[in-house]
Structures are given as C-alpha cells and as structure tokens.
Structure 1
Amino acid sequence: MNFGSSLTQVLMIEDSSQIGHARRTAQNLAQEHGFDSTDAGRVALVATELASNILKHAGRGEMHLRSLPRASGAGIEMLAVDRAQGFDVQACLTDGFSTGGTQGIGLGAVSRQTEVFDVYADSRGSVLLTRLYPRQDKAPDRRVGISQHSLRNDPACGDVWHLAFDGPRISALVIDGLGHGEEAERAARAGEKSFARSPFASPVLALEEIHLAMMGTRGGALAIAQFDASRDALKFVGIGNIGACLIAPDKSRGLASHPGIVGGQYRKAQAFDYAQVNGQLLIMYSDGLQSRWNLQDYPGLVHRHPAVIAAILHRDFCRGRDDVTVVVIALEAVHA
C-alpha cells in the first residue's frame, strides 16, 4: 500500500461562528471519502465538540483535518490544537465536568464516538486527537502521525512525504524541494513519483533513481527510512537537511545524513543500519521545523499517539518561514 503526500487542512477557531464551518468542513470531507450518513454524522458531532472545546477552555485555537488512506476507503483525522494553559484531562473526560459553564458532556462523548482518541495537555497548551473510520472498516489504526503545512497557506508545498506498507515492512520518504512554491513542489513531486514505483528497493538505489528523476528541477533534500519489524532493524539514507531521529523513552539518537542536493550534486550516499529499534519512534522532519527540541521536555509525550506528537512539534517548533513536514512513526513488532 502506497500513501502519497497531502497537506494538513487548518481551520481557525476564534469565535462561535466558526464552529459551524468546522462541522460542515469535516462532514463534507467524510462524505467525499465514502462515509455514509450515520458515520458522517459522527464526524460532524465530534468536529462540533472539538471546536467548542477550543473556545471553552482556550479561547482560540485550530482544528487540523486530514483524510487517512486505508487499504479500502479512508478514515478522518481531526485534532484540536491550542496554546492555552493546560487542563485536567481526566476530569474533562468525566461526564458532568465543565470548565466553561456548559453541561460538560463534550470530551466524554467524543471519546465514545471515535475509534482513536488521545490527548496531551500541559502549561503550553493541549492537543486532542480523534480518528474515525466507517463502521464496516475493522482494520487496526496505523500508529503514524503526519503534520504538513505550506508557507502562508500556499496551495503549493515544496515538501512531500510518502509512506508504503508491506506486511512487517514500512518505507518512508520525506523530500524538501529547494525554496518553496510551485517550482519547489515540482521538484519534490518528481522525486516522490520515482519513489512510489519501488518504495522497498534498497535505499541507495532508490536515492539514485530519485536523483535522476529530479534532474532539471530545483532539486532538494531527501531522507528515506525503511523499517523491517521481522528483523527489528531500520535502514536510513539522507542527503541534505532532512532531520531524522530514533526516540526511546529514555534516549534518542540522530540519524546521519550526507551533504548535497538530490537532483543537483552530492558526493556519496551510504545507507546506515540501526538495530533493535522495535518500540521506538522514528521522527523525520523538513527544515521548516526547528531542530532544537527534546521530547523529554514533555513528560509522557513519547507514549502518546504519533499524530499528537507531530502536532505538538509543529505547534511549538515551526519556524514560520518555510514549508514544514513532520512524520512520526511508531516502530512496532507487529504493524498491521
């Protein structure tokens, strides 16, 4: 299964008039991806509660929407993101508790309506994750999180990501086309198209093919990571300034890249092998994200869903002057 790059849709939530817009946008997205009226209604309900919750406890914030490709059909992901002082998560999940003078049934109802619910809150703000799938879709949730945003909401994004799944194997690509805008996107998309043809080819061979495909474009930075759960191992190759690291609860290690420009010139490419990676997080990110972050500054965050982690890294470390992509993958012994 190959899943191609797409931007995170961001809806500002700053006053009550935007709640209805969030509800309609989320419901329409669900219907476009094959949700029937009952399941699309669940999406609408959850979107309403998430947007309302932002206004109740934060005053303002954002809703992030994206579709989740599946082997058949798709799911819908919605995150509520704010920068307000944190709240008592367990208390807010209890029916009858309210910080906003309402009946206080929102978050408890949300957790019951969704297939995936997770939340992280501290003094810097909160991120609430929901994922909904059609009732007939019984496949397990993939513990992968992606946050991708273009500079100034430009329809063109010079970053791309691509994920491929084959049984116990995962192959992940991130490309940052030089600059931003349409020409950067053209360069990155050329590389993604090449990768998608053979995502499980050896990383160095895949890199060489992408290099040829990106010639004549601006070129860009690239990273490819291939995880094999059956071997408990990861291969990684990078050219340029795509950041990548492996994170365990008690330690983290950066993944080595070489200097150069894919589609332009680089001196060499070498794939590095990393063993005993099951249970760790793989995080890959373009240079639109600051590199000086540490998940240990967020107690317990390493154990949250990868989509929550991706959203928090984007919220707190986006440079604001380039496209930004964050991909977080839980490397699991069995990744269905």
Structure 2
Amino acid sequence: MNISGSMTQVLPIEDTSQIGHARRTAQQLAEQHGFDATDAGRVALVATELASNILKHAASGELHLRVLPRAAGAGLEMLAIDRANGFDLEACLADGFSTGGTQGIGLGAVSRQTQVFDVYADARGAVLLARLYPRNDKAADQRFGVSQHSLRNDPACGDVWHLAFDGPRISALVIDGLGHGEDAERAARAGEQTFALAPFTTPVMLLEDIHRDMIGTRGGALAIAQFDGDADALKFVGIGNIGACLIAPGKSRGLASHPGIVGGQYRKAQPFDYAQVNGQLLIMYSDGLQSRWNLQDYPGLVHRHPAVIAAILHRDFCRASDDVTVVVIELEAHHG
C-alpha cells in the first residue's frame, strides 16, 4: 500500500468559536472519506472534546488533522497540541473532570470512542492523539506519524514524504526541494512520483531513477529508508541534508548521508545497512527541523505513539524559516 505525502491541516484553537469550526471541519473530513453518520459523529465528539480541552487547560493551542489512507477506506487522526504548563493527566482521564469548571465528557470517555488514544504531557505542554477508523475497519493501526508544514502556510510545500507498506516491509522517502514554494514542490513531486512506481527497488537504483527524473527541476535533498521485518534489517541512502536516525530506549544513532543535490550533481551514493533494528524508531526530517533535539530530554516519549513524537518534535524544534517535515516510524516485524 502506498501513502502519498500530504501536509498537516492545522486549526488554531484560541477562543470558543473555534471549537465549533474544529468539530465541523473534522466531521466533514470524515464524511468525505467514507465514515457513515455514526462514525462521523464519533469524530465530531472527539474533535469537540480535544479542542475544548485545549482552551480549558492551556488557553490556546492547535488541532492538527490528517487523513490516514488504508488498503480499503481511510481513518482520521487528530492531535491536540499546546505549549502550556501541562495538566493532571490522571484527573483529565476521569469522566466528568473538567479543568475549566464545566461538565466535560472527560478524556477517558474520548479514549473509548477512538481506536488509538495516546498522550504526552510535561512542563513544555501536552500532545493528545486520537485516531478513529470506521467501526467495520478491523485492520491494525499503522505505527507511523508525520508532521508536515509549509513555510508561512504557503499552499505549496517544497518537502515531500511517501510511505509504502508491503507485509513486513516498509519503504520511506523524504525529499526537500531546494528553496520553498511551487518550484521546490514541483521538484520534490517529480521525485516522489518515480519512487511510488517501485518503492521496494534497491535504494541506489531508486535514487538513480529519481535523480534522472528530477533533472531540469531545482533538485533537492533526499533520503530513502527500507525496512525488512523478516530480515530485521534497514537499508538507507541519503543525498543532502535530510536528517535520519534510529532510536531505541537509551540510545540513538544517526544515519549518514552523502553530499550533493538529487537532480543536480552528487557522487555515487553508497547505501548503509543496519541490522537488528526491530522495535526501534526510525526518524527522518527535513532541515526545517533543528537537529539539536534529543528524545532522552523527554522521559518516556520514546514509548509513545510515533504521531505524538512527530508532533512534539515539530512543536519544539521547528525553525519557522523553511518548510518542515518529520516522519516517525516504529519498525515492527508485523506491520499491517
């Protein structure tokens, strides 16, 4: 299954009028992607509570929406993100608890409406994740997360990501077209289209094909990572400044890239092989994200859902001077 990259939809939550807008936006998105009235109603309920929760305990924040393509149909992801001083998670999970003094349904009730619910909160703020799928969708949740945003909310984004799943195999692409705006997006999309045709071709052959098809564009930086769960191994090739690392509890190792520009000029790239990676996190990110982050500064975060990790990295380390993409994948031998 191929998942073509898209930007994160961001809804600011700064006053009560925006709660209704968030509810309607999320519900309409669900209906557009095959949710029936009952399932879309669950989405509306959860969006309302997440947006309300932001105002109640943080005064302001954002609700991030993303469609989750499936082999059949789609799911919907919602992330409530704030920069407040944290909140009492145990209390908030109790039904009827409300930090704003009103009768909320409680995050515990929200968690029962969702197939995936996860939270990370500390003194820097909170991120709450809800993923909802139609009731008849019994497929497992795919353990990846993406946060992608264009510079100054430009409709065009020079970053592109793409994921392909094939049983125990995963192939991931991130391209950062030079600069930003429409020309950068055109360059990156040319590479993505080539990748999508055969995402499990060996990385160096894929790179050569993408390079050929990006000639005549601005070109860009690129990274390809391929995980084989049966072999418990990862292959990686990168050109330019796409950051990448493998993270396990208590340790992190960076994945090396070569200098150059895909679609421009680079020396022949050597792929790197990494063994015994099952259970680790693969994180790939464009240079719109600062590289000085360390998950060990966030106790327990490595065990949270990849979508929560991606959102926190974007929240705390976005440069705000370029497009930014963060892709986090949990490397599991039994991916759906």
Measured against the shorter chain, the TM-score band is: over 0.9
Matched to 1:54, the amino acid is I
Task: Report how far residue 30 of structure 1 moved.
Answer: 0.3
Mapped to 2, the partners of 1:15 and 1:175 lie a distance apart of 36
Matched to 1:41, the amino acid is G
Question: Aligned to 2:79, what secondary structure does the other structure show?
Answer: strand
What CA deviation, in whole Å up to 9, does each residue of 1:261-313 have, x standing for no partner? 00000012011000000010000000000000000000000000000000000
Q: What runs of 5+ residues in structure 1 fail to find an aligned partner?
A: none
Matched to 2:277, the amino acid is V
Matched to 1:308, the amino acid is V
Paired residue for 1:229?
229
Contact 1:288 1:319 in 2 (8 A): yes
Task: Report how far residue 334 of structure 1 moved.
Answer: 1.2
Task: Report how far residue 94 of structure 1 moved.
Answer: 1.1
Paired residue for 1:30?
30
Mapped to 2, the partners of 1:90 and 1:191 lie a distance apart of 46
Paired residue for 2:216?
216
4+ long deviations beyond 3 Å: none
Matches within 5 A, 1:270-289: 270-289=270-289
Paired residue for 1:193?
193
Task: Report how far residue 95 of structure 1 moved.
Answer: 1.6
Mapped to 1, the partners of 2:69 and 2:98 lie a distance apart of 35
Matches within 5 A, 1:248-263: 248-263=248-263
Task: Report how far residue 60 of structure 1 moved.
Answer: 0.1
Question: Aligned to 1:3, what secondary structure does the other structure show?
Answer: strand
Mapped to 2, the partners of 1:23 and 1:335 lie a distance apart of 31
What CA deviation, in whole Å up to 9, does each residue of 1:44-100 have, x standing for no partner? 010000000000000000000010000000000000000000112122101233321
Mapped to 1, the partners of 2:28 and 2:36 lie a distance apart of 11
| 2:87 is the alignment partner of 1:76 | no
Task: Report how far residue 104 of structure 1 moved.
Answer: 3.8
Contact 1:116 1:132 in 2 (8 A): yes
Mapped to 1, the partners of 2:148 and 2:38 lie a distance apart of 29
Mapped to 2, the partners of 1:210 and 1:129 lie a distance apart of 34
TM-score by length of 1: 0.99
* CA RMSD across the alignment: 0.6
Q: Percent identity?
A: 84
Matched to 1:87, the amino acid is F
Mapped to 1, the partners of 2:212 and 2:327 lie a distance apart of 25
Matches within 5 A, 1:43-58: 43-58=43-58
Contact 1:92 1:104 in 2 (8 A): no
Task: Report how far residue 106 of structure 1 moved.
Answer: 2.5
Paired residue for 1:204?
204
Question: Aligned to 1:266, what secondary structure does the other structure show?
Answer: coil
Question: Aligned to 1:191, what secondary structure does the other structure show?
Answer: helix
TM-score by length of 2: 0.99
Mapped to 2, the partners of 1:178 and 1:331 lie a distance apart of 29
| 2:13 is the alignment partner of 1:17 | no
Mapped to 2, the partners of 1:301 and 1:10 lie a distance apart of 23
Paired residue for 1:246?
246
Paired residue for 1:315?
315
Mapped to 2, the partners of 1:92 and 1:203 lie a distance apart of 46
Q: What runs of 5+ residues in structure 2 fail to find an aligned partner?
A: none
Contact 2:49 2:104 in 1 (8 A): no
Paired residue for 1:302?
302
Question: Aligned to 2:302, what secondary structure does the other structure show?
Answer: helix
Paired residue for 2:64?
64
